[in-house]
Amino acid sequence: MNRFGTIYRSLHGNSRAPMSRILHFGKIYENFHHHHQHQLQIFRNLILQTDVSKSVKLEKLDDSDTGIVKVELDRPEVKNAIGKDMLKRLQDTLKSISEDSKANVVMICSSVPKVFCAGADLKERKLMSPSEVHFFVNSLRSTFSYLEALSIPTIAVIEGAALGGGLEMILACDLRICGEHAVFGLPETGLAIIPGAGGTTRLPRIVGKAVAKELIFTGRKIVGKDALLMGLVNHCVPAGEAYLKALQVAREINEKGPLALRMAKHAINEGLEVKLSSALELEEECYEKLLHTKDRLEGLAAFAEKRKPRYTGE
């Protein structure tokens, strides 16, 4: 007797029921089971898609703040730890920003209290094979390089912990603004690995080789005021006020010529990678590209007329 027959007899007693009725009941059971499993999978997929879509949020500010873009990390259940799905969402968000000609400045912040980003999702990492880990870390590194290469200024807004990959993310930003209770660290050597998404290269460029070595060798965590003293952040403000300070800076940037901002960032970033004479030539090239823009003429006119300029990015 198959399981459908057993189920049927449990419902209808031990009487000898015709096999046709048993088979008919079995067919109904199979259809119900298949439909139930299908609906359950759809539900699971919807949950997953909703989780992914919310893990990184993109908001374009409006009115007088048009041109300011806010990227918000929102994965509270794991303290914004970066897993494969969240990384894909971050990549898509950065690509969207790079294609937005109206964006002038980006703020990257967290919606999760007392944490910016706890780094990589180590629970997910534990389930990966060595080749999968290698691929993920490479993807993380290239994503932060893409962030660094955005043509417009980027500001990291840090309240709480920015550890491991979280610190490596903010190192790829142009400016960093934190609350005094922010905590920074690269703990990878304590896990018998090294920072693999730019930590060993960007940190010494920002704070100097000796300081970077000490932080990486020891895995020591530092707080906001120490980060300010060593030049890791541009501003350290009272806890809870980092976003307001970042918005203030973003508004100052947003008033400037959009093309000039792009050329200034390009000249600084690329100029630091070459010898001084080559950097000066690059500066000349960037300056020349701005000479024949409408924005340059608007800037001169606004100065003469003692009014705020109205830049269009042309």
Report DSSP letters for 256-284, one per residue.
S-HHHHHHHHHHHHHHTTS-HHHHHHHHH
Distance CA 285, CA 183 (A): 40
Residues 140, 208 contacting (CB under 8 angstroms): no
Task: Give the position of tokens 């060993």.
Answer: 200
Instruction: Please give the angle made by the CA atoms of 87, 89 and 90, to the nearest 5 degrees.
Output: 65
* pLDDT the model gives residue 236: 98
71 bridge partner residues:
58, 108
Distance CA 207, CA 209 (A): 7
Task: Give the position of tokens 């199979």.
Answer: 30
What DSSP state is assigned to residue 99?
T
Distance CA 194, CA 67 (A): 37
* pLDDT the model gives residue 31: 55
Distance CA 48, CA 75 (A): 12
Chunked in runs of 10, what are the mean pLDDT values of the chain (314 residues)? 45 48 51 50 42 78 94 94 93 95 96 93 89 93 96 97 96 98 96 95 97 97 97 97 97 96 96 95 95 92 92 89
Query: In terms of DSSP bridges, do strands 68-73 and 105-110 run parallel, antiparallel, or are they unpaired?
Result: parallel
* pLDDT the model gives residue 3: 46
Q: 217-238 in b/e burial notation, b at 16+ Cβ within 10 A? A: eeeebbebeebbeeebbbbbbe
Q: Which residues does the annotation mark as catalytic?
A: 120, 165, 168, 188
* pLDDT the model gives residue 50: 39
What DSSP state is assigned to residue 45?
H
Of 25, 19, 20, which Cα lies nearest the Cα of 7? 25
Total-model pTM: 0.81
Task: Give the position of tokens 């027959």.
Answer: 5
* pLDDT the model gives residue 122: 87
**Would you say how long the chain is, in residues?**
314
Distance CA 127, CA 51 (A): 20
106 bridge partner residues:
69, 154
Q: Which residues, other chains included, contact 35 with Cβ-Cβ below 8 Å and sequence gap of 6+?
A: none
* pLDDT the model gives residue 21: 52
* pLDDT the model gives residue 1: 47
